[in-house]
Structure 1
Amino acid sequence: MILVAGSAHLDILSRTSVDDDSVDKIGSVSISIGGCAGNIATNIAEMGGEARLLTAMNQSAYSRIIESHLVSLGVEPIIVSDPTLPLAAFVAHINSKGELVSAISSMPVDRVEFSENALTHAFAGIDAVIAECNLSETNLLKLAKAATDAELPFYIGGVSESKVCRVLTLAGTGFVTALFCNMREAVRLLDYSGCDDYLELASVIGGNFVVTQGAEGVKIFNTSGMTIVQGCSIQEVTNGNHLGAGDMLMASTIHNHIAGVPFPLAIEMGTLKTENILARQNCSLGAPDAMEKIISQNRHQSLYDGLTGLLNRRATLSVAESMIALARRSGRSVAVMIFDIDHFKGVNDTWGHDAGDEVLKQVAQVTTDTLRESDIVGRWGGEEFVCAMIDANLDAAFDVANRLRQRISEQVTEPKIITISGGIVMLEHGENISSAITRADALLYDAKHGGRNQIRR
């Protein structure tokens, strides 16, 4: 498990189509999710590693969206939450070449001091620490000292020229395993440090000082001198933008380094990984369409049962009412069935809820496979399911229901042979779906008292 500490935030990016001197330029705007620490953590998770993110946010709906998206991408978030904090956001203008022209960042992580409880929670069971310079100097020092006390490698990434100088608070401590900067950040850091060159700066900071220069390569400065690693050709990439490229390089390098790969080789592997990713997309958290994915996920969650994948109760009612409206306009019939799993409580009590969940998923699958695509299947609640079948008279619907009952008993046999009981009715003139389900439910009750494993009509 790698602990990553720093920012995760909204990304609002404007891209100019053609560079000119006008104030109101023609281009495009995207709203996504980014953040150096968030990018690094999700990239590590994407590579098969385990990542935990320590960050700070306010309690807005936007923050909850970011948190849920991190979880969906395989990251374990530890969030210091405070309603007085500003929105975590990064607003940037990018030119037609994909270069960052200007940006404004609002980073709650530089306004919060992590408590000892938060650090204890964050450090449980980890193998390495990665921090970025959106963090305050106090938090950088706390994290570096805690990592050293725990004998863990400690890596730092610069996030801008204005913030990278915070790393100088660690100068001479011996805490730093590696510091990653781009060229602009490195130049600013050199100026502020008072050092004559990067080799002297590397000796002051300690560990490896990594300066990324895009297609010109990656330079590694340490007590042994300077090493140049072949660069990735990001200058030749025209799609997307280069935001997140450094985060990808850090994630890949550190993921391989803590696995035992020598540092220069880990850098080379990270460079190749970044080049391959940049050839098809940018490296920001969740990619450019993250918000679109989140909205789609939320819509899916609002309509479908998370366990079985069937329509949930509310969506079943809504979709069935649309079916009924269509049927009435065209003079077609609708059959409505409700069924449940016999002795389902006994499955949970005897074999556990995991076994019960598996039974529900299998019953849902057999039901979907048995009914037509035009029919509606929903999970009504617990072990109950509702089906609505258009263009089916009572005899035909009853035959389908019994065929379903037979298939479930033949195909769902673990941890025991599963049977169902149900009731089926025809929708009457002027009747709504809720009323039809109530009538079918009364027949289900009769089937239960009649010995189970049967359909009543």
Structure 2
Amino acid sequence: MKHTLVAGSAHLDILARPREKSGYRDRIGSVELAAGGTACNVAFNLRKLGRPVRLMTAWGTSPIDRMMAGHIESLGIDLMVDEVAGMGVAAFAAQLTPEGDLESAVSAMCVDKHTFSPLRIAHAVAGTDLIILEANLNSETMYAIAKAGREAGCEVFGMAVSEDKVERLVPVLPLLTALFANGAECEALMEKMGAADPSDITEATGVTLIVTRGERGAVVYGPDGSRGKIQPPTLQDMRTLLGVGDAFSVGIIDGVVRHGKSYAEAAEHAHELVMEIACRDSCNALSLHTLSNMVDELDGTARYDALTGLMQRTAFEREYKRLEEPGGHALLLIDCDRFKRVNDEHGHDVGDSVLKGVASIIGGSIRKGDIPGRWGGDEFVVVLPPISDAHVVAERIRGAAARAQLYGVTLSVGVAIAEPGEKLESVFKRADAAMYLAKRKGRDAVVFESEASRSAA
């Protein structure tokens, strides 16, 4: 089965619930810390249904963001995250009512301001047949992903997340199979488009519109002017209403696309997931409840190397798999010259500072979209997209290290260009041969695989 691509928000949820109604500003209650965000909720719910999922999002570089990455990947989700330097922790702080409904909230995320590169979008869409977008993304991003998905033969579904973001969906509507919105979001969309009725939107754009109205159920408006009623599930012992809409949308989409059901039939499929979410304290089917539990869960499974902050080897290998089929990218294998001597003469603390310095140089010498990692010990790797000038980037890294005060450490760099479908092990072997030729030439050098091949002949 192909992946479902989910694109949108993922962040830390901080959910505060008072024990009972009160006129006081400072009330007694409970606080839960969990992984959330509309796209994250959708991805978790799809995993609960046993579906392979790819989650595309963006956040900052804080330890909490990186811890979230490890948590998401530990649940079997293929994570594609762009880290945005300078962005604070991605979080959603919500004040709930005692019944679990949303009273007020403040969100801090960068995914609505972030622009994913065309190459990144192409990699995200590859191998998928279903795409779910949510309006925390900006219009340009949603349109680019939806267009790429349609060209690849994918069904594309949209989710409105609030009244003030629903207008972002307007340019994207003709590319969507269906859009999910609650009553208030639908009214905002109608006002934006000058529509008197939801059916005006569907007939003008060709999109199916599913409007949820809480305990009154939902209405499906078809592009042909049809409309059908969906009965609400029977909910008992409810703990939260936050996230119920996400679960409903996932169940409907899965029923329609994966099981070939009508929207009304798919509602029965959705109700089981809705009832499970409604009885929980968090907003999705797989979220951990506390930050301390999240830390325990992630012990030893970090996505990023603790010393250098670069992607660690296992995560790098996972990231690389997306690039195998198209090929054409460059792999830089970077080895620190005379590093053992630094450890022997100055101690491991100085050695660690040198490794941090090299990592900083690599990070400052590459561009957005390049993938750096620590392979292990004093070896580093970088993947550059096909359009990159690998020699220029490699020389920039080598030259910056040569000019830095790194206790005499310089860099030997081997460069190999991947063939379409070539595995990392094969490309790495050729880059490794080129790197060792750089060592034999006197170190502090960049060598391409072609030169290494001629030398070996």
- TM-score (norm. length: structure 2): 0.62
Aligned CA-pair RMSD: 2.0
CA distance in 1: counterparts of 2:226 and 2:271, whole angstroms = 20
- Match status 1:196 vs 2:187: no
Question: How far 1:156 sits from its partner (Å)?
Answer: 0.5
Q: Is the 8 A contact 2:71 2:297 kept in 1?
A: no
Q: Is the 8 A contact 1:11 1:31 kept in 2?
A: yes
**AA in 2 matched with 1:129:** I
Q: Is the 8 A contact 2:45 2:286 kept in 1?
A: no
**AA in 2 matched with 1:232:** P
CA distance in 1: counterparts of 2:285 and 2:67, whole angstroms = 13
Per-residue CA deviation, residues 298-343 of structure 1 (Å, 9 max, x unaligned), is 45879xxxxxxxxxxxxxxxxxxxxxxxxxxxxxxxxxxxxxxxxx
Paired position in structure 2 for 1:338: none
Paired position in structure 1 for 2:14: 12
**AA in 2 matched with 1:38:** C
Q: For 1:139, which of 141, 150, 164 is the aligned residue?
A: 141
Q: Is the 8 A contact 2:48 2:285 kept in 1?
A: no
CA distance in 1: counterparts of 2:93 and 2:50, whole angstroms = 30
Q: Is the 8 A contact 2:203 2:225 kept in 1?
A: no
Q: Is the 8 A contact 2:71 2:298 kept in 1?
A: no
DSSP-derived class of the 1:110 partner: coil
Question: How far 1:243 sits from its partner (Å)?
Answer: 1.4
**AA in 1 matched with 2:231:** Q
Question: How far 1:57 sits from its partner (Å)?
Answer: 1.1
Q: Percent identity?
A: 31
**AA in 1 matched with 2:284:** S
Question: How far 1:82 sits from its partner (Å)?
Answer: 1.7
Counterparts in 2 of 1:67-216, with a 5 A limit?
A: 67-171=69-173, 174-216=174-216
Cα distance, 1:103–1:281 mapped onto 2, change above 3 Å? closer
- Match status 1:257 vs 2:259: no
CA distance in 1: counterparts of 2:93 and 2:288, whole angstroms = 14
**AA in 1 matched with 2:219:** K
Paired position in structure 2 for 1:247: 246
Q: Is the 8 A contact 1:170 1:205 kept in 2?
A: no
Paired position in structure 1 for 2:344: none
Per-residue CA deviation, residues 66-104 of structure 1 (Å, 9 max, x unaligned), is 111111111100011121233211111101121101111
Per-residue CA deviation, residues 86-123 of structure 1 (Å, 9 max, x unaligned), is 32111111011211011111121101111011111101
**AA in 2 matched with 1:84:** G
DSSP-derived class of the 2:70 partner: helix
Counterparts in 2 of 1:256-295, with a 5 A limit?
A: 256-259=255-258, 260-279=260-279, 282-284=282-284, 286-287=286-287, 289-295=289-295
Q: Is the 8 A contact 1:253 1:270 kept in 2?
A: yes
DSSP-derived class of the 2:175 partner: coil
Paired position in structure 2 for 1:52: 54
Per-residue CA deviation, residues 44-65 of structure 1 (Å, 9 max, x unaligned), is 1121110000100111111111
CA distance in 2: counterparts of 1:95 and 1:280, whole angstroms = 15
Cα distance, 1:64–1:265 mapped onto 2, change above 3 Å? same
Per-residue CA deviation, residues 209-246 of structure 1 (Å, 9 max, x unaligned), is 01112221121111242111111245x5432x221111
Q: Is the 8 A contact 2:199 2:225 kept in 1?
A: no
Task: Give the length in aligned residue pairs.
Answer: 298
Q: Is the 8 A contact 2:220 2:263 kept in 1?
A: no
- Match status 1:221 vs 2:221: yes
CA distance in 2: counterparts of 1:142 and 1:136, whole angstroms = 10
Paired position in structure 1 for 2:423: none
Q: Is the 8 A contact 1:11 1:91 kept in 2?
A: yes
Cα distance, 1:181–1:290 mapped onto 2, change above 3 Å? farther
**AA in 2 matched with 1:147:** G
Per-residue CA deviation, residues 256-283 of structure 1 (Å, 9 max, x unaligned), is 2222223332233113431244245544
Counterparts in 2 of 1:378-393, with a 5 A limit?
A: none
Q: Is the 8 A contact 1:35 1:285 kept in 2?
A: no
CA distance in 2: counterparts of 1:148 and 1:5, whole angstroms = 15
CA distance in 1: counterparts of 2:106 and 2:219, whole angstroms = 28
Note the residue ranges of structure 2 that are not aligned, 5 or more in a row.
303-457
Q: Is the 8 A contact 1:16 1:95 kept in 2?
A: yes
Q: Is the 8 A contact 2:48 2:286 kept in 1?
A: no
DSSP-derived class of the 1:228 partner: strand
Question: How far 1:175 sits from its partner (Å)?
Answer: 0.8
Per-residue CA deviation, residues 114-139 of structure 1 (Å, 9 max, x unaligned), is 10111111011101110000000110
Cα distance, 1:272–1:202 mapped onto 2, change above 3 Å? farther
Paired position in structure 1 for 2:64: 62
Paired position in structure 2 for 1:439: none
Q: Is the 8 A contact 2:282 2:289 kept in 1?
A: no
Cα distance, 1:255–1:45 mapped onto 2, change above 3 Å? same
